Amino acid sequence: MTKKNSPHRRHFLHAAALAAGVVAASSPLVNAWAQAPKWPSKPIRIIVAFPPGGLTDALARSYGEHLSSKLGVPVVIDNKPGAGAIIGIDACAKSPADGYTLVMSTSGTFWQNRILYTKLPYNLDKDLTPVTVFPSGPLVVGINDKIPAKNMAEFVEWAKKNPTSMGTYAPGSYPHMVADQTNRRFGTQIQSVHYKGEAAMWLDVASGQSQIAVGSYLAFNAVASRGVRPIGVTGSYRSPKLPNVPTLMEQGDTAKLVSLEGGLPMLAPAGTPEPILKRLADEAVAWSNTDKAAKLRETFAIPNKPKNLADTRKDWEGEVPVWIKLAVDLGIKLD
């Protein structure tokens, strides 16, 4: 047998032919990968469902600057307030799932709106997917300084005898839930007054237009010297900026709502490629470890940091049902 027709030669030619066939058959896939546009190749938009000036806006802008420096493209902050954050969330839900549109809002407007509104223009479970959650830290419960109450229990007793309104930064937001739960538990008739963000809300508490509000430390602190006094904070630990102000839990409030720590979730349209979601979440973690982020958290009295994609999804699965059940139990409907 000649070398030309040896079994080894025939085996090699057969294997080569098979390999050529595989390459030929897979060439459309190879070409597709080769021709896939690089991400990112154009500006990224972060929709903020609140006006400029609040915590959501501040975190989005700081994270956006970091993201832009790491990815080499502009990151645009697009404030779309209104309708309990539905306008901003819907704009993201209806955007292409290509990694160029994100949305940030409060946890309540994401998680509880599906219960608070009979009909929404989007389906949170099907149209959007979580990227990360920026912690908001303990929220401050502040009252007009002329009200003679030193804690939440004393304020409730005062509210039973006086016309009372609570400022909220959006329908269905955390303070809205607190007002409604307080009314149900203690027989008060606190009216919720909804604002498009925190600034105007706290100004009305300072002027006496509203008597109480719940919101971020920085927004509260802007009016703290103008007639607003803290009587408690939400969550399981005290605010680093208000160490002498006890939590509502420490004051004896056993309601599940006051023990929860909300946050500011960042979501993307469902179907956004997994590598993009992971990169966006990883950059949020990287941003949180910068000096600039540390200073921002210190300003807003936020001790915790955002998590990576896997941990965010784990928390999402555990916490969202709790928030939804609270909305169901309270029975609030906003439409």
| 221 conformational bin, left if phi > 0, alpha if psi -120 to 50, beta if neither | alpha
Same domain, 70 and 167: no
User: Is residue 101 within 8 Å of 255, Cβ to Cβ?
Assistant: no
- Does 292 lie in the same domain as 198? no
CA–CA separation, 215 vs 220, rounded Å?
7
What b/e sequence results for 226-235 when a residue is b if at least 16 CB atoms lie within 10 Å of its CB, and e otherwise? ebbbbbbbbb
- 98 and 122, same structural domain? yes
Q: Is residue 89 part of a domain?
A: yes
Place of tokens 């509210």: 159
Asked whether residue 162 is assigned to any structural domain, the reply reads yes
Supply the CATH number for residue 228's domain.
Answer: 3.40.190.10
Does residue 168 belong to any structural domain of this protein? yes
Domain final residue, candidates 259, 280, 306: 259
Same domain, 202 and 303: no
Tokens of 86: 């539905």
219 vs 237: CA distance, rounded Å: 19
What is the average pLDDT value for the chain, to the nearest integer?
A: 87
Last residue of a domain, one of 196, 231, 259: 259
Residue by residue, what is the 3-state secondary structure of the chain? CCHHHCHHHHHHHHHHHHHHHHHHHHHHHHHHHHHCCCCCCCCEEEEECCCCCCHHHHHHHHHHHHHHHHHCCCEEEEECCCHHHHHHHHHHHCCCCCCCEEEECCHHHHHCHHHHCCCCCCCHHHHEEEEEEEECCCCEEEEECCCCCCCHHHHHHHHCCCCCEEEECCCCCHHHHHHHHHHHHHCCCCEEEECCCCHHHHHHHHHCCCCEEEECHHHHHCCHHHCEEEEEECCCCCCCCCCCCCECCCCCCCCHHHHCCCEEEEEEECCCCHHHHHHHHHHHHHHHCCHHHHHHHHHHCCCCCCCCHHHHHHHHHHHHHHHHHHHHHHCCCCC
Residues 269 and 325 in one domain: yes
Is 280 found in the same domain as 131?
A: yes
Nearest to 74 by CA among 83, 64, 82: 64
161 occurs within a structural domain: yes
Per the structure, how many domains does the chain have? Answer: 2
271 and 220 in a common domain: no
Q: Assess whether 189 and 287 both reside in one domain.
A: no
User: Using omega within 30 degrees of 0 as the cis cutoff, is the peptide bond preceding 40 cis?
Assistant: yes
Q: What is the pLDDT of residues 257-311, one digit of tens each?
A: 888 887 999 999 999 999 999 999 999 999 999 999 999 999 888 989 999 999 9
CATH code of the domain containing 305: 3.40.190.150
Which residue among 227, 259, 291 closes a domain?
259
Ranked by mean pLDDT, the top range of 16-20, 35-39, 52-56, 83-87 is 83-87
Based on the fold, state whether residues 241 and 286 are members of the same structural domain. Answer: no
Q: Is residue 152 part of a domain?
A: yes
Does residue 9 form part of some domain? no
pTM: 0.78
196 C-beta neighbours (distance < 10 Å), count:
19
Say if residue 187 is in the same domain as residue 251: yes
pLDDT, tens only, 84-141:
899 999 999 999 999 999 999 988 888 878 888 888 999 988 999 999 999 989 999 9
Report yes or no on 225 lying in a domain: yes
Q: Does residue 251 share a domain with residue 170?
A: yes
Q: Are residues 102 and 49 in the same domain?
A: yes
* Residue 329, pLDDT above cutoff 50: yes
Question: Has residue 192 been placed in a domain?
Answer: yes
**How many whole angstroms separate alpha carbon 233 and alpha carbon 201?**
17
Range of the structural domain that residue 280 is part of: 44-136+262-330
Q: pLDDT digits over 137-180, tens only?
A: 999 999 999 999 999 999 999 999 999 999 998 877 889 889 98
